[in-house]
Amino acid sequence: MDAIQIEGGPRLEGEIRVSGSKNASLPILAASLLTSGSSTFHNVPALNDIRTMCRLLELLGAEAELPAPAPKGSRRKADPHIVKLTTKAIKDTTAPYELVKTMRASVLVLGPLVARHGQARVSLPGGCAIGARPIDQHLKGLEAMGAKIVLEHGYVTAKAKRLRGARLVCDIPTVTGTENLMMAAALAKGHSTIENAAREPEVEELARVLNKMGARVRGAGTSVIDVDGVDELHPIEHAIIPDRIEAGTFMVAAALTRGNVLVRDCLPEHLDAVIAKLRSAGATVTAESGGIRVKGPTTILPVDITTQPFPGFPTDMQAQFMVLATRAKGQSVITENIFENRYMHVQELARMGADIMIEGRTAIIRGVPRLTGAPVMATDLRASASLILAGLVAEGRTEVLRVYHLDRGYERIEKKLRPLGARIKRVKGRM
């Protein structure tokens, strides 16, 4: 397995480009099941999760070209960030356990399959490192639209001749739950409302794509979404929005290392809560044409953070800010409200000298004068990002093991950080 080796210390300076959003791409690729014909998506991040989703869509009967072939006659090489999906007939409606267990976002094929094909058999995703992550809200909504749901042998089977519009009230805002129900409602007969909907930018982006396909979705980005079902959708071409969590991760890297970095191709309006907390930590954050510039402070100030659904502080940035807090002058308090086990990075940071105490969902972080490099273990996607960040400021060498977790959500992070001055490289054959 690969590991990433970092020699800590250098200030990061220069420009870094953000890839397309993983969490926008996954539902959008799944939405291709709602229509027949060929859709082309640009600015798709070249990540393992994207390849997994394409593999799943092919199992269901789609043809995935990743990367899409270069235009006829052009001398350019195929761009790995362009995906072409052709869905003629659905040949299978089962999302198998061996695939779903590697990527729980596979559950995003559930809504489209029932809506377009009248049935779906999807392995229950099971838990993951950060929590139980049930899908009861997805199923409750599909049932309200007339689907017959059966749970057996570790699979959920959903069947409906044709879904009918309904009033769907989520007990809690769920991102993929809202996305699944929006896709299902797009082809249902009649009008649906999704109340207590998730407001994440990735939900809004999916609604933009569905409307481009001919759907009639209104209110995405607010907590009440209206959908007038239509009989048919058509294929499209679309460029995916930038990844706000990758952008936030790079912004923290600049703040941590007293750097001066322009994070390109990101949208400030997707990062309000993150920018506010970076400023509280003493960083200078300014919008510039084409991105956001972050200058790290000489002294990092402590920050208190409570993760919330969007537009609150994102749980996907919690681990990264914890690293910032380990280097702050004073005590910070972080409360993780979204997932019940999203502190797997804490023990690894402690091995680098961090002073962190966990009490239930709350972490109390006392800033320390220095972190020291060490071999550390990645456990989940954002935890592994936090270990890379810690390695950038730790004294000596840090080796982050099992970086396949990292590769799920960050496109070759070492290649992106090296031009900024980071002493970082990927090494093969580590356990």
- Can you name the residues that pair with 13 across neighbouring β-strands? 260
Query: Which residues, 286 to 345, sit near ligand EPZ by CB under 6 A?
Result: 315-316, 338-339
Binding mask 238-267 for ligand EPZ (x = CB under 6 A): ------------------------------
Considering the rule CB under 6 A, would residue 420 count as an interface residue with ligand EPZ?
A: no
Q: How far apart are CA 427 and CA 424, in angstroms?
A: 10
Sorted by sequence, the CB contacts under 8 Å of residue 26 that are 6+ apart come out as: 49, 50, 53, 105, 108
Structure tokens at 240: 């995916």
User: Minimum CB separation from ligand EPZ for residue 411, in Å?
Assistant: 13
Considering the rule CB under 6 A, would residue 133 count as an interface residue with ligand EPZ?
A: yes
Q: Quick one: 258 or 270, whose CB is closer to ligand EPZ?
A: 270
Considering the rule CB under 6 A, would residue 105 count as an interface residue with ligand EPZ?
A: yes
Q: Considering only CA atoms, which of 357, 377, 376, 360 is closest in space to residue 368?
A: 357
Considering the rule CB under 6 A, would residue 384 count as an interface residue with ligand EPZ?
A: no
Q: How far apart are CA 37 and CA 235, in angstroms?
A: 6
User: Minimum CB separation from ligand EPZ for residue 12, in Å?
Assistant: 22
Selected catalytic residue, list 54, 128, 170, 266:
128
Q: How far apart are CA 371 and CA 354, in angstroms?
A: 7
Q: Quick one: 217 or 374, whose CB is closer to ligand EPZ?
A: 217
Q: How far apart are CA 358 and CA 343, in angstroms?
A: 8
Size of the site for ligand EPZ (CB under 6 A): 24
The string of DSSP letters for 367-420 reads: --S--B--EEE--SHHHHHHHHHHHHHSBSEEEEE-THHHHTTSSSHHHHHGGG
Label residue 280 exposed, middle or buried (CB < 10 Å: 0-12, 13-18, 19+): middle
Query: Which residues, 186 to 225, sit near ligand EPZ by CB under 6 A?
Result: 198, 202
Q: How far apart are CA 278 and CA 295, in angstroms?
A: 10
Query: Which residues, 15 to 34, sit near ligand EPZ by CB under 6 A?
Result: 23, 26
Considering the rule CB under 6 A, would residue 138 count as an interface residue with ligand EPZ?
A: yes
Does residue 54 carry a catalytic annotation?
A: no
Q: Which of 61, 131, 214, 421 lies at the binding interface for ligand EPZ (CB under 6 A)?
A: 131
Q: Which residues bind ligand EPZ (CB under 6 A)?
A: 23, 26, 105, 131, 133-138, 172, 174-177, 198, 202, 315-316, 338-339, 381-382, 409
